[in-house]
Structure 1
């Protein structure tokens, strides 16, 4: 998984919204959602919460 997707997952796990993540990383919300989709595909999550939980459980973040 690309490090950019991991950054988004870490911030989501900390409770940030996609809007806030986009602002913090200097990205568009669309790019943040795309990076989340890459992470979801890699981890097999069907939702944002499931993707973050799987990342935590697997020690990815």
Structure 2
């Protein structure tokens, strides 16, 4: 019902805004010098967390050996 209340241009603008926000978060994670473990696990975990927080799902599971 919510999407039906928006004009076509509003839906596209909202989707673009959310996509750009997620891309910005990922860029900030990649640039974060505090996440500097040798296998980049902390960076990967932060990116997957940002992805999930944006309401996106992935079948990929990260496992540590």
TM norm structure 2: 0.35
Indicate the structure whose relative CO is greater, using CA pairs within 8 Å and at least 6 residues apart.
1
Report the structure, 1 or 2, having the larger helix content. 1
TM norm structure 1: 0.36
| Structure (1 or 2) with the larger CA radius of gyration | 2
